Structure 1
């Protein structure tokens, strides 16, 4: 999946602007700049569906919930006076939220416990650099970058210094133990079975 910057006469966009976008379009705002998201490829959707299936089965009797895209996540990272002023609004491919107080009718206001982004060649910079830094700063405890074309998953876990630690890499032959749920094991052979 990739994003395309949208140019307007306005210098900075916020969550108040995001609420005005059409419901049938997927938008993100990063540092006040709006991006329209393209439709994902079939491999992207197959990986997403299998990840959501495995996670949802595990969470079925737990407090945490999994939310696949489209799902709005507001990341207040500065001195916003209220949520309408938030300048970082993302729609991660998969969000896991355990703190119900962050949820409202529009999505999640604050950092989910875990985020998974499934990338395409055109979204590498956005997911590996820009969103990586936003998620780290916001306090997302675990961040996965899934690459369907390479059948590769990069896992980042927030450390005590509030920085992501060493990258853990996994291939289609591996299983991943989710750090925030040590008894949840994701079978990548099923995720990449397309």
Structure 2
């Protein structure tokens, strides 16, 4: 059998999308520094929190006839070799066709044990390089704790740690209650 030859060059975005198109829909892949990375299946709490965010933001968008939309699972092309997939993102509501964008304005990641280091370090830096991004929000799934990094503040960290705290999202003109973000998680 021998040792197979591995292509030493990084995978590019086009190769990545061709690769993921042939994968099952329930797999969540990201392209990080030219390497395709398969993420573990999200936990129940992770999914509840992500669903809460989508529902809250979708309701707000409908009520305000927003020019933006909140969606899960869309790749964000940061470069030819980087296509991370935030848990939830906000982007212009222009009926995007396809599986990627490069114009998100807010990114949300729900921390998982397997991705926490990447989410807090690599993604924070990588997303900050995207000119359209105004805010990166990291949500813990094992405690009521949200950390926000805002472009206007030089991506300095702001923490929200009580159920009564309000996460402000100034680029879309709203605040989200942590009580609502963590609804039905058993953490309140």
With the shorter chain as reference, the TM-score category is 0.7 to 0.9
Q: Deviations over 1:31-57 (max 9, x none)?
A: 112100111001101111111111111
- TM-score (norm: length of structure 2): 0.84
* 1:180 aligned residue: 171
Equivalent residue number for residue 13 of structure 1 = 11
Instruction: Point out the structure with max Rg over C-alpha.
Output: 2
- What secondary structure is seen at the aligned counterpart in 2 of 1:89? coil
Q: Tell me how far 1:173 sits from its aligned partner.
A: 2.8
Structure 1 partner of 2:109: 117
Alignment match, 2:92? 98
The match for 2:54 is 52
- Which of 69, 72, 75 is the matching residue for 1:72? 75
Task: Give the direction of change, closer, same or farther, for the CA distance of 1:23–1:17 in structure 2 (3 Å limit).
Answer: farther
Structure 2 residue matching 1:53: 3-state secondary structure: helix
**SS in structure 1 at match of 2:171:** coil
Name stretches of at least 5 consecutive residues in structure 1 with no aligned partner. Answer: 1-7, 77-85
**Secondary structure of the structure 2 residue equivalent to 1:121:** coil
Distance 1:72 1:23, change over 3 A: farther
Q: Would you say the 8 A contact 1:111–1:135 is kept in 2?
A: no
Query: 2:157 aligned with 1:155, yes or no?
Result: no
Distance 1:62 1:105, change over 3 A: same
| Superposition deviation, residue 23 in structure 1 | 4.0
Q: Is 2:150 the partner of 1:169?
A: no
- Distance of 1:127 and 1:95 partners within structure 2: 14
Q: TM-score, normalised by structure 1?
A: 0.81
Cα 1:107–1:23, aligned 2, differ >3 Å: closer, same or farther? farther
Report how far residue 10 of structure 1 moved. Answer: 2.5
- Of 27, 34, 42, 1:32 maps to 34
Task: Name the structure, 1 or 2, with higher relative contact order (CA <8 Å, separation 6+).
Answer: 1
CA distance in 2, matches of 1:13, 1:46: 33
